[in-house]
Amino acid sequence: MENNDNSVKLKDLGTAVQPIIKAQKDIQDAIGNVNDRVQASVVNIETLEKKFDAEITKMNNLIEARLKPTPPAPEETFGLDGALKMQMRNVYYKSADGKYEDLVKGADLLFAYNLLASANSAYRRKGGAGMGLGEPPAPSERLKKFVESYKAYTETGVGTGDEIVPLFMRPELWQDVFIASRIAGQFEKFNMPTNPFDLPLDFAEATFSKIAELGSPTADDAATRNVRGTVTKQLNLKEWSYEIAETAIVPLAPALRANVLRGAQKYIDSFWMNADSAAGASVNINLIDATPAASSYYLSDGQNGIRYAVLVDNTGQGINAAGALTSTQLASALTKMDDYGIDTENLRFFPGLRTYLSSLRLLPENLTMDKFGPNASIKTGQVAVCFGSPVIPTPAVELVNAAGKKSNTGSNNTKGALYIVHRGMWLSGYIRNVMIEMDIDIKLQKWIMVTSYRLALYAFGPRASIKHAAGVYNITLP
């Protein structure tokens, strides 16, 4: 297979990747050797997991660096021609005093421009100039030139260029969120025209019957069921002092965008898995022995998530492991899904990180070459598929109590879990994609950035008899 901008071979990473591979193997071997409680008390599994995650991050950083394009010549960076050539992908930015010099995304420059321009505008609007306070720095002429060039390229109208940022930043960041998402990225999404919105796409099964030649058929009036989605808003607030030089904004912008991206990806995935609308005491699956705070991310204003479907909506879809995870339990969970359980192409396994590392990956069927063949995890170091379907470990599936629910007492949450979902029977709706708004507080001399989105979950069919989700909980971990 040829290497391209979206593909990196192991050999392309050079010798720098060798210690990473060795460290991953050592950690996997250490976990694999824990086969009794005596060893488990000596080996800190959680510490090994953190080390494993750190090595994965190192590998991702190497791949990202390998994919980073060569910085363009300075004359190709700014101006209309430069914007056309770069097509808003990556640009080379250097501050006037040469303090910062780096390859950044065009969206980061637009983000930096909007940040500076918005702060100045808000400062003047609130009368800060007459209060003896220092005015936030304005965008440099070089940065203005870049923004004006892109504005001319996209023909987005007249003005200072602030209007470009929502048009460009939002779709790119939103797309990045779903690329990074382990759960939400597996399902289709659509823009909701209203809130709530009834999605009329749930049909009863089509029926066929025998008919003679030239016979008169009877119409199959397939019953339809509307699935209602009500959005839940999630928001992030950032504040920082505006005593910061303009030259610090450009390197700050990528960090801010990366932070927003990680947070959105994490909480959207966690909402998909853990959403529960129950706000009372000792009823929410994420806090089964206390009352959730009104700001808890998992409190849904609409449909509930994957765990709720298995643990509450149709309790018959859950397998209580009451011990170590076995392949028989996984097979039983698939059996409970009826026809959905054999559609391997559209099934997704979502184990928690601890469940994946110390249970699923160590199943005998995965470890022995004679049972699993050349793809055994003892050889590859990972479980990519289970019963023919992708395995996607996620931190959204946390440690829970024996009932599969989260306790307010941390020592009760020691059990693993995993969930199986048919991706064709769930989808997500959005009224607001990622929206970034900025302002300043001249009294406290701080900048304010608010990021928000509004999403809804849809699960087809009557929830009480749901079959397209199943799970195994109360898994004893070493």
Predicted local distance difference test score (pLDDT) of residue 87: 36
State mean pLDDT over 326-342: 95
Tell me if 242 sits within 8 A of 447, measured CB to CB.
yes
- Select from 432, 401, 438, 436 the least CA-distant residue to 417: 401
Q: Has residue 3 got a pLDDT over 70?
A: no
Alpha carbon of residue 304 to chain centroid: 18
DSSP state letters, 262-296: HHHHHHHHHHHHH-B---STT-BTTBTTS---TT-
Predicted local distance difference test score (pLDDT) of residue 399: 96
- Select from 240, 197, 253, 258 the least CA-distant residue to 61: 258
pLDDT tens readout for residues 132-150: 445 666 677 777 776 666 5
Predicted local distance difference test score (pLDDT) of residue 67: 52
Predicted local distance difference test score (pLDDT) of residue 95: 46
Predicted local distance difference test score (pLDDT) of residue 441: 78
- Select from 106, 266, 257 the least CA-distant residue to 178: 266
Residue 166 tokens read as 């929502």
Buried b (16+ CB within 10 A) or exposed e, 119-142: bbbbbeebebeeeeeeebbebbee
- Look over the chain and give the mean of its residue pLDDT values, rounded to a whole number: 74
Query: Taking the complete model, does pTM exceed 0.75, yes or no?
Result: no
pLDDT tens readout for residues 210-268: 788 877 877 765 555 678 888 999 898 888 776 664 455 556 666 777 788 888 889 99
Predicted local distance difference test score (pLDDT) of residue 477: 94
> To which H or E segment does residue 241 belong?
strand 232-241
Q: Report the range of poorest mean pLDDT among 45-54, 161-170, 362-371.
A: 161-170
State mean pLDDT over 96-103: 46
Predicted local distance difference test score (pLDDT) of residue 38: 47
pLDDT tens readout for residues 351-376: 999 999 889 888 877 654 445 455 54
Burial class (CB in 10 A: 0-12, 13-18, 19+), 341: buried
Tell me if 354 sits within 8 A of 45, measured CB to CB.
yes
Distance CA 13, CA 427 (A): 37
Q: Has residue 379 got a pLDDT over 60?
A: no
Q: How confident is the model at residue 388 (pLDDT cuts 50, 70, 90)?
A: confident
- Select from 316, 328, 307 the least CA-distant residue to 399: 307
Tell me if 106 sits within 8 A of 86, measured CB to CB.
yes
